[in-house]
Amino acid sequence: RLTGQQQEINSLMQRKNAVDEENAHLKNEFVNLNRKFKDKSQELKDTEECAQKKEEQNKLVIKSLEEENKGLNTCCADLLSDLEKLRKQVAQWKKEKSGDDTRIKNLETDLAETREQIKSLHSICSNLSSPIDVKQEELFKKDCDV
């Protein structure tokens, strides 16, 4: 009977040792997992902080870009307004130029007619010049005779 109990005690001691080893192994695994969990938690915290900083930076960049865009839109509106004024001015100048071109054409026509008249008058003067010369010569002779 003692040997049966001794065997049972030995068997229970072996099971206890196996359970203790298993517990030690599980404790060790738990410590490792707990350390990994803390590391991952810190990593997540750092990542979240980094993401938050990035988001804040992005918000600032977006705000800055929106302000710049607003300024550019104002500038574009001013430029479009200036362009419209210039287009109206060009249209006015074209209208004035058209009137000036017509006036110049009329003046050129008048000038050409005046040149023709001058030519005609020169011709008449030339034609009258010969008889006058003859008459002057006659007068001069008569003066000399007198």
pLDDT in tens, 117-133: 999 999 999 888 888 88
Using 50, 70 and 90 to split pLDDT, how confident is the model at 83? Answer: very high
CA distances (Å), 76 to each of 47, 52, 73, 92, 132, in order? Answer: 42, 35, 5, 24, 80
Q: What is the mean pLDDT of the chain?
A: 95
Residue tagged 């109206």 (tokens): 88
Q: How far is 101 from 95, CA to CA, in rounded Å?
A: 10
pTM of the entire predicted model: 0.48
Q: How far is 137 from 101, CA to CA, in rounded Å?
A: 52
8-state DSSP, 146: -
Amino acid in position 81: S
Q: How far is 44 from 52, CA to CA, in rounded Å?
A: 12
Nearest 5°: CA angle at 125, between 124 and 131? 95
Average pLDDT over residues 25-52: 98
Q: What is the pLDDT of residue 1?
A: 64
